[in-house]
Chain A
Amino acid sequence: MKTLLVFLGCILGGGAIGLFSALWYGGMVPGGPRMGSNLDVGGWSSDWSIGSENASPYVRARIARFGLLAMRKDEAVYFGKAVDDLGDPMVESCTYRVSGRSMPARWWSITLYNAESYLPSNDDGALSFDATRVPEGSEDWSFIVSPSAPGPDENDVDQAWVSSRAAGTFDLTLRLYSPTPELIEHPKRTLRSPTIERLSCEEASQ
């Protein structure tokens, strides 16, 4: 009888650990892994199997949790980055400049999300920067990420802004819709990944 109870305990214990580990690896438990990341371009990570029926069960589960209704790579590709160029997590109390050049896609955007993968709860109306805001005739673009609107730059030119107010620790998602075949084929060679420069941080209140 005692042996049978031990066997039963092993089955229940093993089952519980199996369930929990699946939920953890699937990104359903806080602190678990997030989006797929089998591709890294300048610190921006992506997974070319997003949206595909060939995605591994782990990628499939994490995408369902963190990027539901994401499209497959011939229509859209997604890159994410949660740290600045020095490797520090991006936080609301700091100000960053995100800069880049033209992107290999029909249209692209960069959007800020909080640690729960939602838009931050603020009413600043400055949630993203997209290709339609790049100055006409210019290859280069940049915008400021900060909790309040930045003033004009040193040349007295207004700076584009994405608000991090109420975001806490956040990440940026780069979407490239209708990507060029070259990007799909040779992402590391084709994508000139945006830089994220930390400009300043507010002192923590005592």
Chain B
Amino acid sequence: MMSRLRPWQIAIGLFVISALVAHVWMLARIPTMVMSTARALFIENGAIENGWSPSPRVTPETQRIVRPSPDLAYSICLFDASSGPVEISAPAWDGYGSLSIFNERTDNVFVTSLDAAEDAPNQVIVGPEGYVPSPDIAIEGEAPPILILTGEGVALIRRLAPSQALHDAAQSLVDQSVCQPLSAG
């Protein structure tokens, strides 16, 4: 028969269990906390929700997140797919370019090339869990990929633009890019 635990054994057990639970809980929360802070920072610096916001050319003065590349032109869209599908697209670029989507845990859940030399899809529909595209919603051209994502997300366009002229040209494409609830189109 197992002997009764002594108080000091219980104390050590409580200490270890508390440490483990707190460690795992905090570790799992760090990416969400960082993404939430970054999202607030983007909004504070003029980024809008459900729309593309071109970032100024990356310099020591304009950098907003860690390790930005000064050779790339960035545009960002903060969206929330929890209440309905969001359409996200960006035109191709003559050079390296990509459209990527991150969930609220910072996972890179979607990426496609915007390089005009590669014939990759440059449009994606992001929908909440259980989303099935309605046949009433007409989308021109080939059916875009569907990405299921619960909650908030961040879409990011990167285009190779190592000079001011190329950066300006890249950012002028924002007018041709889409990041909005599908029903608003």
Interface residues of A (CB under 8 A from B): 3, 6-7, 10-19, 21-23, 25-26, 28, 51-53, 55, 57-58, 60-61, 63-72, 74-76, 106-107, 109, 111, 113, 116-123, 127-128, 130, 132, 173, 175, 177-178
Jot down 29 A-B pairs with beta carbons below 8 A, ordered by A: A6-B7, A10-B18, A12-B18, A14-B17, A15-B22, A17-B19, A18-B22, A18-B24, A19-B22, A23-B30, A26-B26, A26-B30, A57-B24, A61-B27, A64-B30, A65-B66, A68-B35, A69-B156, A71-B108, A71-B111, A75-B108, A106-B115, A109-B69, A109-B71, A118-B67, A121-B60, A127-B59, A127-B70, A175-B69
Q: How far is the CA of A177 from the CA of B95 in the complex (A)?
A: 11
Within 8 A of A (CB), among B1-20: 7, 10-12, 14-20
Contact yes or no, B22 A23, CB < 8 A: no
Contact yes or no, B162 A132, CB < 8 A: yes
Interface residues of B (CB under 8 A from A): 7, 10-12, 14-28, 30-31, 34-35, 38, 58-60, 63, 65-71, 95-96, 98, 100, 102, 105-109, 111, 113, 115, 154, 156, 160, 162
Residues in B neighbouring A51, C-beta threshold 8 A: 107-108
Report the number of A-B residue pairs with Cβ-Cβ less than 8 Å.
Answer: 169
Q: How far is the CA of A57 from the CA of B102 in the complex (A)?
A: 16
Known: A10-B18, A51-B107, A109-B71. A119 touches B23 (CB 8 A): no
Contact yes or no, A11 B14, CB < 8 A: yes
Closest beta carbon of chain B to A120's beta carbon, Å: 6
Interface centre among A10, A111, A117 (most CB of B within 10 A): A10
Known: A57-B27, A68-B35, A71-B98. A113 touches B18 (CB 8 A): no
Known: A107-B160, A177-B96. A10 touches B22 (CB 8 A): no
Known: A28-B30, A107-B96. A64 touches B35 (CB 8 A): yes
Q: How far is the CA of A63 from the CA of B63 in the complex (A)?
A: 17
Q: How far is the CA of A96 from the CA of B129 in the complex (A)?
A: 52
Closest beta carbon of chain A to B52's beta carbon, Å: 15
Nearest residue (CB) in B for A76 is B98
Contact yes or no, B15 A57, CB < 8 A: no
New A-B pairs, 8, CB < 8 Å, besides A18-B22, A23-B30: A7-B7, A15-B19, A61-B27, A70-B108, A71-B111, A119-B63, A121-B60, A123-B60
Closest beta carbon of chain A to B103's beta carbon, Å: 9
Nearest residue (CB) in A for B18 is A14
Contact yes or no, A22 B26, CB < 8 A: yes
Q: Which of B14, B28, B68, B108 contacts A119 (CB 8 A)?
A: B68
Contact yes or no, A75 B30, CB < 8 A: no
Interface centre among B30, B65, B95 (most CB of A within 10 A): B30
Q: How far is the CA of A113 from the CA of B109 in the complex (A)?
A: 27
Q: How far is the CA of A14 from the CA of B108 in the complex (A)?
A: 34
Contact yes or no, A10 B11, CB < 8 A: yes
